[in-house]
Amino acid sequence: MSGKTIQCPCGYTLHGHTDDEVVRAAQEHAREVHAMELSREQAMSMARPD
């Protein structure tokens, strides 16, 4: 799989084919699981290439 991956400190792994996809996935995970808001910059700072 190409794109970006974010490994959440809780152990959950998020994938996206584009920056926008991985940011959306991270923001949704942060809201739903951790009840917090995540900025695009915060998400991208954690993103790594697949």
Q: Above 60 in pLDDT, residue 1? A: no
Average pLDDT, the chain: 96
Reported as a pLDDT band with limits 50, 70 and 90, residue 15 is very high
Q: Is the pLDDT of residue 34 over 70?
A: yes
Where b means 16+ CB within 10 Å and e means fewer, 2-34 reads eebbbeeeeeeebebeeeeebbebbbebbeeee
pLDDT > 70: what percent of the chain?
Answer: 98
Please tell me the predicted confidence (pLDDT) of residue 2.
82
Span 2-13, pLDDT tens digits = 899 999 999 999
Q: How many domains does the chain have?
A: 1
What pairing do the DSSP bridges indicate for beta strands 48-49 and 13-16?
unpaired
